[in-house]
A and B are shown apart, each in its own frame.
Chain A
Amino acid sequence: MKLLDIAIKDLLRSFRSAFALVFMFVIPLLTVGLFYFAFGGLGGDDGFDLAATKVQVVNLDEPGSEYGDFSAGHMLVDLLESENLSGLLEVSEASGPARARAAVDAQEAAVAVIIPADFTGAALGAGSAAVELYQDPTLTLGPGIVKSFVSQIVDGFAGAKIATGVAVEQLVEQGVSASDAEALKQEINLAYGQWATELGEAHQDGANPLLDVQSTGDAGEEGTESLTQKILSTTMVGMMIFYAFFTAANASESILREEEAGTLPRLFTTPTPQSTILGGKLLAVFVTILVQVIVLVVIAALAFGVAWGAPLPLALATLGLVVLASSFGVFLTSLLKNTKQTGIVFGGVMTVTGMVGISSVFTASVPAASDASQVAHTLSLLMPQGWALHGWRVVMDGGGVSDVLVPLAVMLALGAGFFVIGVLRFRKRFA
């Protein structure tokens, strides 16, 4: 009973502290709220309100009269300026390459597309050409989108030219239609073009005749929205774990604060066993983290639509996190002499272990980060926060009880170790 009294007293004090409440709830929710806001949470039904990429186009293409009215350069420009892409690209035509590059340098545009003078000629005739994308080196997303569309067109022309060239060359080599190479070229070109058009139309209808794509993630109707949600969910769990450990450290520090304030020695003069006193304080740490996690899980689900996974694995992940965070906080506190040391130790140790532990959260939004994810994942498992994150991500990725058992076992084992060391140190200190 006295153990509960002590725990309740500590909980009362914790939840009255504005400082503690800010770190328990405000900062993690604020951080995720910022991400939610960043990735279009206020975009309403339209979802992700990605800013249109500003593009400067310079079409230097001068097709010869032999190509009639056809201009590959114009075709490319028309595609970029098409209605379909108006939500993604904001295209303006520049007077020349220098002006276009200057616009990029002045950050008036993200990328300049410079179509060379011999583009049509290279596409349909002899020679080669390169479409230049002059981009802002600090940007990746917008220029990446532009490159993707431009590459499609360029690849299409290149494909047709390769097809025609190789096919005619082969046939002529075999003595077929040597005299009528031009007609043959037209024939192959037409047939290939028809094939490419059919392929393109199939893609536009939503089918993929070439690939059967099986997604391992929880993709929504639109890839962008699910990516956004994934970033948000990953960030939320990362922040929750990061701040759970901070809260545990702060709550455990109450042992030192009470020692200095004299109320802990006073407690020792009452007929209350030392184990009850310590047990009550540790119980308070445990319950504080539990409340924090539950509140954050609920608010994140309701406000940000975070899908946490199945209930039982979620409960197990919660148990693992609460035990591990509480015990790590107790362990760290047991190493300190007084509250003067807590600032640097908690601030430094918690920030370093926390950020390394949740570092894989930061790679979620980076396209070329598969190797980076691996590096981050490996590093993170050196930290207790990393194991907590691993367990929660298993659950959030749809894992069941059996999937979460290994990370849970590690969390509980680490937790037990930290707890035992921490308690032994405290008992020795207060003996």
Chain B
Amino acid sequence: MSTDTAIRVQELHKNYGDVYAVRGISFDVHAGEIFSLLGPNGAGKTTTISMVSCLLEPTQGDVSVVGHSIRRDPMGVKAAIGVVPQEIALYEDLSARENLTFWGKMYGLRGSALRQRVNQVLEITGLAERQKGRTGKFSGGMKRRLNIGIALLHRPQILIMDEPTVGIDPQSRRNILDSVKEMNRQGTTILYTTHYMEEAQELSDHIAIMDHGELIAYGTHDELVEIVGEMDRITLMISAESASVMERWRTTDGVHQITAEDGTLNLLVDDSNVVLPRLFESATQAGTRITSVEIQEPNLEAVFLHLTGRALRD
């Protein structure tokens, strides 16, 4: 492993009997980067990072975290990582300060170093004024900030964040994304899971796309988008469901892929400016009206669609 590889995942498998949650995935996370695992719910992202965090034992394979194997030296791994779980994991009957103090001790901090660091994290998370309040009485956003703050106490080399923005308001989400970028600017390697394409796009140096336990694509944003080349994504709604219009469109020159989803049709095409008129013409011939059109330039959504035939949000 090269000196700038923070995490190396090698042929990682996890199955529960006949259920294969993770099937032989491998990837590297470079030191100092933000690495996203992108995929829909049930893709195996949480299982993967549970194994990386030493919460689950792999069926096969290994993970090396800053030189420590999860199988042979889990304590070394845990000392190097900070984990932000998807669900908020706080002691609601303790105050913010009490929570941070306790977790700091679990990360090996003591005495004045602990007190100092707790004060810093309270400032970072904006909870200094509410430090004595029971966390059970905090708002959802405050709880999330504290949830993240706990993982930062021991200044981990690697921060593992499991879908930290699920179910929160846009403002809080924005704050979290900005915090992630700031932590990374300060040198923390971040392994981030999400099913939001925009997040992966905004944050990541490298992205791995997962589906059904497999790693189906890996690379930078631009490399991944290359998979779909210059293809545009057109989303259409039509006045009436028509098998014949879809058949016509499938055979229309420049159309690579059509999928139907919740009353909309998603098409991958070469050049929307050229293909769109052909689509309108086919629709008219089939007696169907196109009621709405949306054109998107190549993105990860398109990549996922291309690779799996499904939208990322399925």
Contacts and interface: CB of A to CB of B under 8 A. Distances in A.
Given A13-B93, A262-B88, A269 B78 contact: yes
B89 interface: yes
Given A266-B85, A267-B106, A273-B75, 19 more contacts: A2-B105, A5-B106, A12-B98, A13-B93, A261-B92, A263-B89, A263-B90, A263-B91, A265-B85, A265-B89, A266-B83, A268-B55, A269-B54, A269-B83, A270-B107, A271-B75, A272-B78, A272-B106, A431-B57
Contacts of B55: 265, 268-269
A273 B105 CA distance: 13
Interface of B: 53-55, 57, 75-76, 78-79, 81, 83, 85, 87-94, 98, 102-103, 105-108, 110, 150
Nearest to B106: A270
Contacts of A6: 106
Interface of A: 1-2, 5-6, 9, 12-13, 16-17, 261-263, 265-273, 431
Contacts of B94: 9, 12-13
Which residue, of A5, A265, A266, A273, has the highest number of chain B Cβ atoms within 10 A?
Answer: A266
Contacts of A13: 91, 93-94
A284 B94 CA distance: 16
A271 B57 contact: no
Contact of B89 (A1, A266, A272, A431): A266
A31 B85 CA distance: 45
B253 to A, nearest CB: 53
Contacts of B88: 262
A16 B135 CA distance: 14
A104 B54 CA distance: 77
B93 A16 contact: yes
A262 B85 contact: yes
A48 B157 CA distance: 73
B90 A269 contact: no
A272 B57 CA distance: 17
Most buried by A among B92, B94, B98, B105: B105
Contacts of B108: 271
Closest 5 A/B residue pairs (Cβ): A262-B89, A271-B78, A270-B106, A271-B79, A269-B83
A16 B103 CA distance: 19
A9 B78 contact: no
Contacts of B54: 268-269
A17 B105 CA distance: 23
A337 to B, nearest CB: 16
A2 B103 CA distance: 10
A428 to B, nearest CB: 13
User: Counting chain A CB atoms within 10 Å of each CB, which of B55, B93, B103, B106 scores highest?
Assistant: B106
Contacts of A5: 102, 105-106
A271 B78 CA distance: 5
A190 B106 CA distance: 93
Contacts of A269: 53-55, 78, 81, 83
A261 B89 contact: yes
A1 B108 CA distance: 10
Nearest to A13: B93
A262 to B, nearest CB: 3
Contacts of B81: 269
26 contacts: A2-B106, A5-B106, A9-B91, A9-B102, A12-B94, A13-B93, A13-B94, A262-B85, A262-B87, A263-B90, A263-B91, A266-B83, A266-B85, A266-B89, A267-B106, A269-B53, A269-B55, A269-B81, A269-B83, A270-B103, A270-B107, A271-B76, A271-B78, A271-B107, A271-B108, A431-B57
A1 B94 CA distance: 20
Contacts of B83: 266, 269
A265 B85 CA distance: 9
B144 to A, nearest CB: 13
Interface centre among A6, A17, A269 (most CB of B within 10 A): A269
Nearest to B92: A261
Contacts of B107: 270-271
A265 B88 CA distance: 12
A323 B286 CA distance: 82
A13 B78 CA distance: 26
A262 B57 CA distance: 18
A265 B160 CA distance: 14
A327 to B, nearest CB: 25
Most B CB contacts (10 A, CB to CB) among A1, A5, A16, A273 go to A5
A4 to B, nearest CB: 9
A127 B146 CA distance: 96
B193 to A, nearest CB: 15
B280 to A, nearest CB: 52
Contacts of A16: 93
Contacts of B103: 266, 270
A129 B89 CA distance: 83
A268 B77 CA distance: 12
A261 to B, nearest CB: 6
B309 to A, nearest CB: 34
Residue picked from B85, B89, B94, B103, most chain A C-beta under 10 Å: B89
Nearest to A266: B89
Contacts of A431: 57
A261 B135 CA distance: 13
Nearest to B52: A269
Nearest to B83: A269
A269 B90 CA distance: 14
Nearest to A10: B91
Contacts of A270: 78, 103, 106-107
Contacts of B93: 13, 16-17
Contacts of A271: 75-76, 78-79, 106-108
A319 to B, nearest CB: 29
Contacts of B90: 263
A12 to B, nearest CB: 7
Contacts of B98: 12
A6 B101 CA distance: 11
A287 B78 CA distance: 29
Contacts of A263: 89-91
Nearest to A274: B74
B115 to A, nearest CB: 15
A268 B55 CA distance: 7
Contacts of A1: 105, 110
